[in-house]
Amino acid sequence: MMGKSHLIISTGVTLSVLGMADYKISLPVAAVTAVSALLPDIDEPNSLLVSRAIPKRFIQLFQIALVGLGAVLYFLGQAFAPWNILLAVLVGLVSFMPTRSLRNVVMILIGAGLIAFGHSLVPWSYLAGSLLIVCALLPHRGLTHTLYGLVGWILILFFSTNHYDTSIWIAGGLSYLLHLLADSVTNRGIRPFPPFEWRLKLNLMSTGTWKGTIVETGFIGLTSVLVWFVFFRNFPL
């Protein structure tokens, strides 16, 4: 499914379920729900979550910085020749990589930075940094689209937020699960238990096709009805 469909469906259904269960829906709960709705696609550099967190403008600035770094290595590193030239060429080649690949490079660098310099946030800096590095190296619909990824995200939320608000980890886990279930209706499906090859695949649609658009629109419509029923049904007109 498209990222915007995941965002609407997972967030809408999750908040509606919480509302029906009389959980308090605070801003942190809503924020975690929205992020969790998109989080499984963090292994896709062009996904809605990654492309918004690392926009194309940032990638362009990153390319310029790499070109500048290559020039510095070439002209100011003469004492280390020929290694300075090799490093300058390597950095220059990286700067001309496609946007998709450069986003992966940025994710790896951010992850490494969190691990190296996030001492005040230990152990969460290690967890977040490792998550970014691993996801940048994974194929799309890999580990993040499994029940292992789901359980891992729930545990992270539980141990980091349970003392603050129980509903945060419940919302995040449910929203993440709904993303996986939504992807299971596509022609690719998901592999919930790798290395086992079994796929959860209903094959109702293919993302980006007219049939896929109809199916996604239908699910969005049902989500809208649920949200109205839970939150707006009793509002005076």
Tell me whether residue 129 is in a domain. Answer: no
User: What is the residue range of 207's domain?
Assistant: 3-44+140-232
Give CA separation, 155 vs 107, 143, 177, 212, in Å.
22, 16, 14, 33
Report if residue 84 sits inside a domain.
no
Is residue 148 situated within a structural domain?
Answer: yes
Domain-embedded: residue 69: no
pLDDT digits (tens, 9 = 90+) for 43-65: 888 888 888 889 999 999 999 99
Residue 191 placed within a domain: yes
Q: Would you state the pLDDT for residue 183?
A: 94
**Residue 10 covered by a domain:** yes
Is 15 contained in some domain?
A: yes
Q: pLDDT tens, 119-165?
A: 887 767 887 888 788 888 877 778 899 999 999 899 988 988 888 88
Distance in angstroms (rounded) separating the CA atoms of residues 185 and 130: 30
pLDDT score of 236: 57
Strand partners, 38: none
140: alpha, beta or left, given left = phi > 0 and alpha = psi -120 to 50?
Answer: beta
> Total structural domains in the chain?
1
Q: Report pLDDT digits (tens) over 89-101.
A: 999 899 899 988 9
List the Cα angle 95/85/83 in 5-degree steps: 115
* Residue 223, in any domain of the structure: yes
Average pLDDT over residues 206-226: 93
Q: Which amino acid is at 162?
A: N
Question: What pTM was estimated for this model as a whole?
Answer: 0.82
User: Residue 138's pLDDT is what?
Assistant: 79
| Closest to 132 in 3D by CA, of 115, 154, 157, 150 | 115
